[in-house]
């Protein structure tokens, strides 16, 4: 259970059209990530699915049932908010119990589910504390616990990791992925971080200005971005988009080449440039290279042992099979 279909859904706030007509199918058990720059409408889309905002026109179906007019509580979805939205005056136990209490579930069943959720989320020792006494990661887990106990047909996550520090974020990312494998429930996850999208998703939905730019698996999006926007958004560091002379050599408007698909040499190569900043990460070196026409700076991802310094002259050779070609309208050509 957990099939969600959006048909011609639109949303306007007053005169501002936030989401033009949009179709999207989310399959049962799929981990779907909405990703895009801030203000692209991904959170709005999630809130439309949750029922926290009314759609202006169109149709939302959940498990084959028309849910367009259903109130949020009746849609069988659970949401984890960016601020966690825990109830500060209730203990962790009462927070987790709240949705079950509202549903009128009997006490014994409530207790059983709380214990199970607390055990799964490592919260057993904290059940009687207030949210204010917990760390960010623990609060996040309580919010997830509150969602789990309802046994929803789908989970909605609204940028759940953006308030955590980097180390914790990586840990929670794994925990959520792990939870998805275990529960095999549909999950919709909103983020602006393409690394989260790539690592967690079964299906990524790339949004810009309310429009779906591309839908696909992480590797599909990485290998065959449908247009320049997706090409630039997915992958880190960003794909180099080169216009002008070098692109016309391939007789297209723009070519794209990922930093990891460029070979660097200090003696010979197709393009010549000057090293700007070189970021040594140990495992990799990100070299920013100036002097390549049509793309300044050009980023190259080289091995950790490459020894180049600011001002050095280097030669670059793009790997021919990894060159992406885009037309003047920004769309992929092949």
Partner 1 sequence: MATQHSRSAARFMMAPAVVLLLGWMLVPLLMTLYFSFKTYLPLRGGDLGWTGFDNYVRFVSSSAFWPSIQATLIIVGGALIITVGFGVLLGILLNQPMWGQGVVRILVIAPFFVMPTVSALVWKNMFMDPTNGLLAHLWRFFGADPVVWLSDASLFSIILIVSWQWLPFATLILLTAIQSLDGEQLEASEMDGAPVLKRFWYIVLPHLSRAITIVILIETIFLLSIFAEILVTTGGAFGTRTLTYLIFQRVLESQNVGLGSAGGVYAIILANIVAIFLMRIVGKNLDA
Closest CB to partner 1 among 144 and 212?
Answer: 144
CB of 96 to partner 1, least distance (A): 10
CB of 166 to partner 1, least distance (A): 23
Torsion from C-alpha of 305, 308, 310, 315, nearest 10 degrees: -130
Closest CB to partner 1 among 150 and 228?
Answer: 150
Closest CB to partner 1 among 102 and 219?
Answer: 102
Question: Is the backbone peptide bond immediately before 297 cis, with ω within 30 degrees of 0?
Answer: yes
CB 207 within 8 Å of CB 41 = yes
Closest CB to partner 1 among 77 and 176?
Answer: 77
Q: Which residues bind partner 1 (CB under 8 A)?
A: 50, 52, 71-73, 77-79, 81-83, 85-90, 98-99, 102-103, 130, 146, 150
Phi, psi dihedral angles at 59 (to 5 degrees): -145, 135
How many Cα atoms are found within 13 Å in the side-chain-facing hemisphere of 125? 4
Torsion from C-alpha of 296, 301, 304, 305, nearest 10 degrees: -70
CB of 2 to partner 1, least distance (A): 16
How many Cα atoms are found within 13 Å in the side-chain-facing hemisphere of 290? 9
Closest CB to partner 1 among 45 and 242?
Answer: 45
Closest CB to partner 1 among 50 and 195?
Answer: 50
The set of residues, in sequence order, having a beta carbon less than 8 Å from that of 136 and lying 6+ positions away, is: 163, 164, 165, 168
Give 256-277 as a DSSP string.
Answer: EE-GGGEEEESS--SEEEEEEE
CB of 89 to partner 1, least distance (A): 4
| Alpha-carbon gap, residue 210 to 123, rounded angstroms | 38
CB 233 within 8 Å of CB 197 = no
Closest CB to partner 1 among 160 and 318?
Answer: 160
CB 19 within 8 Å of CB 44 = yes
CB of 137 to partner 1, least distance (A): 18
CB of 42 to partner 1, least distance (A): 16
Closest CB to partner 1 among 159 and 213?
Answer: 159
Cα separation of the two ends of the chain: 37
CB of 80 to partner 1, least distance (A): 9
CB of 330 to partner 1, least distance (A): 36
Residue with tokens 């949750």: 50
Comparing CA positions, the residue from 298, 332, 331 lying closest to residue 315 is 298
| Alpha-carbon gap, residue 52 to 77, rounded angstroms | 11
């Amino acid at each position: 259970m957990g099939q969600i279909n959006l048909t011609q859904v639109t949303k306007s706030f007053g005169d501002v059209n936030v989401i033009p007509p949009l179709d999207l199918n989310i399959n049962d058990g799929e981990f779907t990530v909405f990703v895009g720059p801030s203000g692209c409408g991904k959170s709005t889309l999630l809130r439309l699915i949750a029922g926290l905002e009314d759609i202006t026109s169109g149709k939302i179906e959940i498990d084959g049932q028309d849910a367009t007019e259903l109130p949020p509580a009746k849609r069988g979805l659970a949401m984890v908010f960016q601020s966690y939205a825990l109830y500060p005056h209730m203990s962790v136990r009462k927070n987790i119990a709240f949705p079950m209490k509202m549903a009128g579930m009997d006490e014994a069943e409530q207790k059983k589910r709380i214990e199970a959720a607390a055990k799964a989320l490592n919260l057993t020792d904290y059940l009687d504390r207030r949210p204010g006494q917990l760390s960010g990661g623990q609060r996040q887990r309580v919010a997830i616990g509150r969602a789990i106990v309802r046994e929803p047909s789908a989970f909605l996550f609204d940028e759940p990791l953006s308030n955590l520090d980097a180390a914790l974020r990586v840990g929670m990312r794994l925990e959520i992925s792990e939870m998805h494998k275990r529960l095999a429930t549909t999950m919709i996850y909103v983020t602006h971080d393409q690394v989260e999208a790539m690592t967690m998703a079964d299906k990524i939905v790339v949004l810009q200005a309310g429009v779906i730019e591309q839908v696909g698996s992480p590797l599909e999006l990485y290998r065959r971005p449908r247009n320049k926007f997706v090409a630039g958004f997915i992958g880190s560091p960003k794909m180099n988009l080169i216009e002008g002379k070098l692109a016309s050599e391939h007789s297209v408007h723009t070519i794209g080449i990922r930093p990891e698909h460029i070979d660097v040499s200090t003696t010979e190569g197709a393009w010549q440039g000057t090293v700007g900043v070189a970021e040594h990460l140990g495992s990799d070196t990100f070299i920013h290279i100036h002097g390549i026409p049509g793309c300044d700076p050009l980023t190259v991802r080289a091995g950790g042992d490459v020894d180049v310094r600011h001002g050095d002259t280097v030669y670059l050779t793009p790997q021919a099979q990894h060159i992406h070609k885009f037309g003047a309208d920004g769309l992929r050509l092949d």
